[in-house]
Structure 1
Amino acid sequence: MAKAVITLLWLLTIYQYAHAQLEEQELSREAQQLLENETAATTGTSEDDEQWQQLAYRQKQRLSLNAADIQDLTALGVLSPLQVESLLQYRKLLGDLVSIYELQAVPGFDMALIKKLLPYVKVGDDLQAHYSLKDLFRKGEQSVLLRYSRQLELSSGYEPKDIAPPSYKGSPGRMFIRYRYNFSQHLSYGVTMEKDAGEGLFSGAQQTGFDFYSAHLFVTNYKGIRYLALGDYAVNLGQGLIQWHSQAGGKGGAVLQVKREGSVLRPYTSAGEYYFFRGGGVTTRIHKLDITAFTSLRKLDGTLAVTDTIEDEMIATAIAASGYHRTAAEVAKKGQLTQFTNGLSCKWNGNWQPAVNMILHQFSPPIQKEMKPYNQFDFRGKQLMNVSADYAGTFRNIHLFGEVATDMLGNLAMMQGVLMSAGSQADISIVYRNYSKQYQSLYSKGFGDSYKTMNEEGIYLGGSLKLSRRWTLDGYADFFRFPWLKYGVDYPSGGTAFLTQLTFLARKDYQYQLRIKLNTKYPNLQRAKSIRCHAERSWNKQLSTAVRIEYNLMAATETALQRGCLTYLDLTYRCKQFPFQISGRCTWFYTDSYQSRLYAYESSVLYDNSVGQYYGKGWQYYLNMKYKIRKNWSVWAKCSQVYYPDVTSIGSGLDKIYGNKKSALQLQTMLSF
């Protein structure tokens, strides 16, 4: 009895704590690590913030646990497939949940998981409301977000050279505007406008105003329509072997998050100018069969050339995905390549979810990359088609998922994954992948060591063990090989990767974490070792701190050692009398070279994915402020600076700054009504 009372009081405490943190709208620790890993692998930070927006909206319009289906629960991104199945089976056997505190009785749900879930779910009146078309367009919430940022020091691209004008034709400020309407997950529409630093605004190549415009209309569960997407939208199929626009998890501290999960169609509202389609898509449900069809016509940036033939045929030698149109050369690439895409997906929604998918891209002019040994199997031609079959299902305590895909030439890519609960205290993940060196795809994001879904075979073994109520041990071992050459590696290669992560939750407001990573690449036996110590503490409702120390050691040869070290202190204060919050960080870093660089997620303005990249020797500090003017109106400001004491210039080329400091300012406001 005493144990039950203590458990109830603990749940009540974290429930109140979760409510108190609703205004934070910060990314979870797992999402932060995902961004760090993705940035390290691609050297660019994702601008996709759709999942962040959806979670923020769920804090206002909570998901009913008694009415939610498998797609609704999966879309939260909090529960694993085994936990979703466990909740659905509990509900099937025992009926609807009576109280939110009943979650403690669901197998596989511990205190830490319930704490993550509470801000987004509810139990209560589960009657499904019926809305008219007028209701959809009149009863929702509207929001306007305005963001301005700029680097305070001017780089070389903004300076005239002799009699030549500056290479960057626009101002150094970056501007982002987003209007969005949302109604209870049934309707979303909006417009996004963005200009990058160096691009013009109603000037130069941007005579119509902003460099990038995006608009969308997205309808969910209205009459016979499951999903309807018009304008800009994202498409995610299977396990990402033929098509995946959204963020995709890789190897990291969340060792069980190895499965690609998400709706086939999603609205696109971000500032990135590459990972989306423009056109229309629809999903209809017949009994338990979801049929999705989509089409897109886009202009992509590309480098054009004329073939050295009698016909002088125009070809595209490269696709540019950065979205920058600052210089005359970048402007010349804008919209030079036409991409026409059509796709189809059929998925059965039962205890097992098999699906078949097809996507066809057509290009004008055709793509003809310069032939080099490492890229000789890359796609070249006028059209690219992929077909795949994927599935997912749960049998007792085992969740199976996988996908097999092929391209037009019959080259195969396949992956098979297993998530297994080995008792109440242990979970296991296994993923085998085999991507042919000749496999061709365009927007694929299959699980692997490389972000390119080709030329890789490997097996991943992950596990999470709850040593006690406070201690958790996570880890993975990954063994992989690359049968063909890679960029910068002129021979077949491979490697191993190991991670061990120990987490201690002293109380609801204390957390300590130790992480060790060991990577080896062969045949030249390049080794990389990393150790990270991270601690967080909430001293009270107003004050919280975080400390991190990280050390990297890379050995290209037995004598060439490259070291990297980073340490930072975070401080966050929430004013009790006023709706004001201020946070700051001071970071010291040192690396021997760019190869031993380090990455760390940074707190920033709402919906801004910010990851710091640290190399060289120096200090970085920032201050981040938020003030809520009214209940529906907030403003943010962030100022930051990186100081390199031993250099006279920072960066290279047109981004070169003369001096040893690099400063930035970011301002944002958002109004909801």
Structure 2
Amino acid sequence: MKLWLTLTLVFCYCLVSAQTYRKGEINTEMLVEDLFGMQREDQDYEDLYENILQLLLNPINLNKTNPEELKSIFILSPAQVNSFFEYRDHLGDLISLYELQAIPGFDLETIQKILPFVILESSEKHQGSLWERIANSRDAYFIFRQNRVWETRRGFTPPDTLSNGRLTSRYLGDPNNLYARFRIQHSKDFSLGFTLDKDPGEQFIWEPATRRYGFNFFSYHFTVYNQGKWKAVTLGDYQMQTGQGLVFGAGFAVGKGGETITTVRRSTVGIRPYTSALEFGFFRGGAATYQMGPISLTLMASDAPRDGNVAVRLDTLEREEAIITSLQSSGLHRTPTEISYRRQAREQNIGSNVHFQNKRKNLQLGANVLATRFSQAFERRPQVYNQFEFIGRENHLYSLYFAYNYQNYFFFGETAQSKSGGRGTVLGMMGSLHPKLSMSVLWRDFDRDFHSFYGNAFTEGSRPINERGLYLGLNFKPDRKFNWSFYYDQFTFPWLRFRTYAPSKGYEWLSRISYSPQRKALLFFQIREESKARNISDYPGFQSPYLLDQGRRWNYVFNLDYGLHPNWSIKSRVMGSSFQFNQRRTSGFAISQDLNADFQRWRISTRFALFDTDDFDNRQFLFERNVLWLFSIPALHGQGLRYYILGQYKLSNKLTLWARFSRTQYTDRESIGTGLQQVSGNRLTETVFQVRYQFNR
């Protein structure tokens, strides 16, 4: 009976599918649109994008998964997750992925989104020795990429001579950005590889004295999974994500966006390899997870170099003592000053996680501990807003967390305390009030002296510190064609912040209405308002540094995606914004038109965009397609136009090529940028070339 059902669903699915994505691929543009309602500059998009890759390379086995794992991809609503397990418990393992259509609450749109992240075959049954599986893995590839801006930045010009006879600072390297990645992996079995990166302006040099060996950044890892009771063992660079991200918060974690329900919660995914080119935010050393019945124990240790400004001061006995005045997270080493910061400090971490899951897999309890020690004492330059930030040489942090699933309701939370005594707490719930209506609620409270270096909890700010807030999200889907998403977030900052020299408060809300009359067409309108305080003295004219005003920003988006043909599609977008602050109102807009072609072996994507904004506060963010696993969201402000063309060609099963040309041309200026990044002229042109070679194909 179940076999006939599956065959029928396969036939029906083939009839209704007008435009498909090949297995293992995703419409990244639409995924970003859902997860990030409005792009923000304090978001680490490169790391988030990298984590999408991690999810794709480690797909979920639907016949062996649990609710926690299924919720980690942020696609299924609470009712859909619950409906999936009720179906599987009643009818047994799925025979085909097409059988997802028979599960109540699973429409074709949801299935299309989830397909790249799931499999059915058993990934735990491995043939041959580990080294044989590594040698024969089909998921083995090497990527090399080169990109550069062709206009000459000031940092690449000859230096000037100052009045004292010294030369001005300039970049020591060439303007090319070089990137290489090698990886061999098999889902839930093993992963090994390395990542190399040289930023524009950095030297490609072999100089052991400054610990530079060709590429400026080198990251590596070797991880094995499911070796008996050892669920994961890793060496090299890695991250961890447990609880709600107050202690270990690495991983695919997003916040407020067009997806208003699933993204408020973090999932415990444990250890994962670090493969990004970002030069901070990861551990370097070893970690392992051991399974003992319903309890898993993870131990980790790390000793990683950190870029920092190290100064010398006199202690109470007038002895010289080295201290860290600031840590650098840019990862840039282009000038003698930036090179002098390189690897000046070391950061040692040791920690653990204990995780319990009951037999029904609807209850999770856990505890985290993380101790951090720097090679020198950390003492920031004192500012009025940062007096409660971390100082000293050591910090320790511990937390308790839980997650409980009751029917269509998921309850979760975590509370943590740092060495300073500061606490952080997150409590939340996701639920389906009705098959067509879902809701999420989240409350958070982070003390002004709560110190978490690897936290990535749900926040309004970029870190879990000095914030209290309450979030409410709703999603209403009356039928397959219509969808309404809404959230409202109220937050306060009890202490001073950067550019906000008094306690402040604010709110943010977003509403999106989507209409999809057929699979090849999507129309949506989105509006967002944000109210947040900042210093008036940031603007011209003398003011008291403690005098604030509430800045109010509105953003509007009208978007149309349409499939003209199975091989051709267009995307049209109109964006607008306005910003009101200190009795002054400014505005801006951007209009873009895309034309995309997909003919299996080759693809072309193009865009032409016009923008006009009064100031930087009205900058327009436009997600752009780029070469595989390169993220691009330029912030457009001023007046001008931007266009690009991206091509991809698959020469063979092993070799794929990408090339991209993009240009921004301004009509309101004769120079672009400031400092060493300044360009004389009114345009910026960038090219990207990438090649991928896949082994054993």
Residue 668 (structure 2) aligns with:
646
What is aligned with 2:300?
Answer: 294
Distance 2:24 2:303 in 1: 39
What residue in structure 2 maps to residue 431 of structure 1?
442
Output the amino acid matched with 2:409: I
Offset at residue 229 of structure 1 (A): 1.0
In structure 1, the residue corresponding to 2:84 is in which secondary structure? helix
Q: 2:577 aligns with which of 552, 558, 568?
A: 552
Aligned-partner Cα distance in 2 for 1:409–1:475: 37
Q: Is the 8 A contact 2:302 2:350 kept in 1?
A: yes
Give the match for residue 173 of structure 2: 170
In the alignment, structure 1 residue 626 sits paired with structure 2 residue 642: no
For 1:656 and 1:83, the matched residues in 2 are separated by 51
Question: Which position in structure 2 is the counterpart of 1:538?
Answer: 563
Residue 528 of structure 1 is aligned with which of 540, 553, 574? 553
Partner of 1:324: 332
Structure 2 residue 330 is matched with structure 1 residue 333: no
The aligned counterpart of 1:237 is 242
Superposed CA deviations along residues 573-614 of structure 1, whole A, max 9, x for unmatched, are 1247xx211111111111111111121211000001111111
One-letter code of the match for 1:307? R
Map 1:418-567; keep pairs closer than 5 Å.
418-521=429-532, 524-558=549-583, 560-567=584-591
Alignment partners' CA distance in 2, 1:378 and 1:107: 50
Mapped partners of 1:318, 1:672: distance in 2: 42
Measured on the aligned residues, the alpha-carbon RMSD in Å equals 2.3
Q: Quick one: which of 14, 17, 22 aligns to 1:12?
A: 14
Determine helix, strand or coil for the equivalent of 1:118: helix
In structure 2, give the amino acid aligned to 1:162. Answer: D
Q: 2: CA distance between counterparts of 1:211 and 1:126?
A: 36
Q: CA separation in 2, counterparts of 1:37 and 1:50?
A: 19
The aligned counterpart of 1:401 is 412
3-state SS of paired residue (1:46):
helix
Tell me by how many angstroms 1:137 deviates.
Answer: 2.4
Give the letter aligned to residue 278 of structure 1. R
Partner of 1:313: 321
Instruction: Return the alpha-carbon distance in structure 1 between the equivalents of residues 496 and 234 of structure 2.
Output: 40
Q: Is the 8 A contact 1:35 1:611 kept in 2?
A: no
Partner of 1:571: 595
Whether the 8 Å contact between 1:36 and 1:600 is mirrored in structure 2 is no
Query: For 1:114-133, what aligned pairs fall within 5 Å after superposition?
Result: 114-123=111-120, 128-129=125-126, 131-133=128-130
- Say which of 259, 264, 272 aligns to 2:270: 264
User: 1:197 — aligned with what?
Assistant: 200
Contact 1:528 1:553 in 2 (8 A): yes
Contact 1:136–1:186 at 8 Å: present in 2 too?
A: no
Q: Secondary structure at the match of 2:106?
A: coil
Contact 1:470-1:506 within 8 A present in 2 as well? yes
SS at match of 1:418: strand
TM-fit CA distance, 1:71: 5.2
Contact between 2:467 and 2:491, CA under 8 Å: does it hold in 1?
Answer: yes
The answer on 1:670 being equivalent to 2:675 is no
- How has the CA–CA distance of structure 1 residues 94 and 574 changed in structure 2, closer, same or farther, with 3 Å as cutoff? closer
Could you tell me which runs of 5 or more consecutive residues in structure 1 were left unpaired when the two chains were aligned. Answer: none
CA deviation vs aligned residue, 1:558-585 (integer Å, no higher than 9, x gap) = 3x11111111111101247xx2111111
Instruction: Map 1:100-249 onto structure 2 (within 5 A).
Output: 100-123=97-120, 128-129=125-126, 131-141=128-138, 142-162=140-160, 164=167, 167-202=170-205, 207-249=212-254
- What 5-or-longer segments of structure 2 have no aligned partner? 1-5, 162-166, 534-547
Residue number in structure 2 paired with 1:375: 386
Aligned residues of 2:531 and 2:550 also touching (Cα < 8 A):
yes
Q: Is the contact between residue 301 and residue 319 of structure 1 (CA under 8 Å) also seen in structure 2?
A: yes
Report if aligned partners of 1:635, 1:669 keep a CA contact under 8 Å in 2. Answer: yes
C-alpha distance in 1, partners of 2:351/2:17?
A: 44
For residues 493 and 125 of structure 1, what CA distance do their matches in structure 2 show? 53
Aligned partners of 1:5, 1:93: CA distance in 2, in Å?
A: 19
User: Any idea what SS the aligned residue of 1:487 has?
Assistant: coil
Partner of 1:388: 399
In 2, Cα distance between equivalents of 1:126 and 1:281: 22
Q: Which deviations, in whole Å up to 9, do the C-alpha atoms of 1:200-247 show, x marking residues without a partner?
A: 112575752111111100111122210111001112231111231234
Q: CA distance change for structure 1 residues 366 and 124 in 2, over 3 Å: closer, same or farther?
A: closer
Shift of 1:362: 0.2
DSSP 3-state at the match of 1:524: strand
User: What one-letter code is carried by the residue in structure 1 that aligns with 2:288?
Assistant: V
CA contact (8 A) 2:190 2:225 kept: yes
Does the Cα contact within 8 Å between 2:25 and 2:116 map onto a contact in 1? no
Deviation at 1:93, TM superposition (A): 2.7
In the aligned structure 2, how far is the partner of 1:242 from the partner of 1:539? Answer: 48
Distance 2:212 2:93 in 1: 57
**Mean CA deviation greater in 494-503 or 207-216:** 207-216
Q: 1:67 aligns with which of 50, 61, 64?
A: 64
- In 2, Cα distance between the equivalents of 1:660 and 1:110? 48
CA–CA distance in structure 1, aligned partners of residues 267 and 527 of structure 2 = 27
CA distance in 2, matches of 1:290, 1:74: 19
From 621, 627, 646, the equivalent of 1:599 is 621
Partner amino acid for 2:501? D
Between the aligned partners of 1:49 and 1:461, the Cα distance in structure 2 is 26
Distance 1:36 1:322 in 2: 25
SS at match of 1:324: coil
Matched residue type, 1:268:
Y
Kindly state the Cα deviation for residue 401 of structure 1 after the two structures are TM-superposed.
Answer: 0.7
Aligned partner of 1:87 in structure 2 is: 84
Name whichever of 103-112 and 127-136 sits farther off: 127-136
8 Å contact kept, 1:39–1:45: no
AA at the equivalent of 2:424: A
Deviation at 1:13, TM superposition (A): 4.2
Contact kept, 8 Å, 2:124 with 2:226, in 1: the verdict is no
Aligned residues of 2:29 and 2:623 also touching (Cα < 8 A):
no
SS in 2 for 1:12: helix
TM-score normalised according to structure 1 size: 0.93
Residue 37 of structure 1: how far off its partner (Å): 4.7
Q: Which amino acid aligns with 2:274?
A: Y
| Separation of aligned partners in 1, 2:296 and 2:383 | 42
TM-score, reference length from structure 2? 0.90
Q: Which stretch has the larger CA shift, 490-499 or 128-137? A: 128-137
Change (3 A) 1:293 1:81: farther
Pair 28,593 (structure 1): closer, same or farther in 2 beyond 3 Å = closer
Cα shift at 1:367: 0.5
**Amino acid paired to 2:75:** V
Q: 1:313 to 1:38 in 2, by over 3 A?
A: farther
Identify if the C-alpha distance between structure 1 residues 82 and 318 changes in structure 2 by more than 3 Å, giving closer, same or farther. Answer: farther
1:112 Cα deviation from its structure 2 partner: 1.6
Letter in 1 for 2:32: A
Per the TM alignment, residue 397 of structure 1 is displaced from its structure 2 partner at its CA by 1.5
Deviation at 1:664, TM superposition (A): 0.5
Give the residue type in structure 2 aligned to 1:494: K
Question: Matched residue of 1:595: which SS?
Answer: helix
Partner deviation per Cα, 1:323-361 (whole Å, 9 max, x = no partner): 000000000000011100001000012220110001010
1:668 is displaced (CA, Å) by: 0.2
Cα displacement (A) at 1:432: 0.5
Query: In 1, distance between residues paired with 2:586 and 2:658?
Result: 38
Aligned residue pairs total 662
Q: Is the 8 A contact 2:399 2:415 kept in 1?
A: yes
Match of 1:54 in 2: 54
Question: Which residue of structure 1 aligns with residue 31 of structure 2?
Answer: 30
